[in-house]
Amino acid sequence: MLILGILLLAAAVALGVAAVAGGSGAVNFDVLNNTIESTGAQAFLVGALAGAAAIVALWLMRGGGRVAYARRRELHQLRRTQRDQRVAEERAERERERAELARQKLAERERDRAGHAEHVA
């Protein structure tokens, strides 16, 4: 990959030098019913600037996408943590209720035994 990148960069530099050095002829562009005259070198430089701007725009979009992805991932993790905490709290509440119910039943049994023992005696 590195070698391929170096070869492509060298080809782009060679093409750029050839376009600027050999671009002395006039070039006409028809844009929105207007004719723009320039030299080949000027046309190449404008194209190079437009390409550089496109690369910067893509780089910024990529960075923004990474930030947005990180935020979504963090939000998902926070929601999962909150859900897990809520489930744990509900489970703990149910356990407390079960324990309280068991204590009440035990106390009721003890009262019934004490009442039965008084009744028998």
Domain spans, the chain: 20-95
Q: What's the CA gap between 121 and 109, in Å, rounded?
A: 18
Which tokens hold the place of 68? 């947005």
DSSP 35: E
Cα dihedral 96, 97, 103, 104 in deg (nearest 10): 160
Q: 10-46, pLDDT tens digit by residue?
A: 887 777 777 767 666 777 777 788 887 877 777 778 8
Cβ atoms of 44 and 16 closer than 8 Å: yes
pLDDT in the model for residue 83: 95
pTM of the shown model: 0.48
Which tokens hold the place of 97? 């209720």
